[in-house]
């Protein structure tokens, strides 16, 4: 999990690369992250073993993030995004 001050993924994005950010304030964010992890798991089945290992690590990271978002929402609330 990362925050806006330490996100390697955002630093990797190209200057003109479109990105999509989900915040914990978004009521849908945890479920969307879980769905992304599920779909990555489906895609990973057709990858070479080394790539599958990387995908499974990403899936675990995403599931942990979704859980952290739910904890954050329980403490701070969530809403439909602006």
The pLDDT tens digits for 35-77 are: 999 999 999 999 999 899 999 999 999 999 999 999 999 999 9
- Torsion sign (Cα): 53, 59, 63, 66: positive
The predicted model scores a pTM of 0.85
Tell me the C-alpha distance between 24 and 34, whole Å.
13
∠ CA 77-41-39 to the nearest 5 degrees?
60
Digit-coded pLDDT (tens) for 21-45: 999 999 999 999 999 999 999 999 9
Phi, psi (rounded to 5 degrees) for 26: -75, 120
Q: Are 19 and 13 in contact (CB under 8 A)?
A: yes
């Amino acid at each position: 999990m990362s925050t806006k001050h330490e996100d390697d993924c955002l630093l990797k994005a190209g200057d003109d690369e479109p990105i999509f950010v989900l915040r914990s304030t978004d009521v849908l964010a945890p479920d969307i992250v879980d769905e992304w992890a599920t779909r990555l798991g489906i895609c990973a089945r057709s990858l070479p073993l080394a790539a599958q290992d990387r995908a499974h690590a990403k899936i675990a990271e995403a599931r942990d993030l979704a859980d952290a978002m739910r904890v954050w929402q329980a403490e701070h609330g969530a809403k439909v995004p602006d």
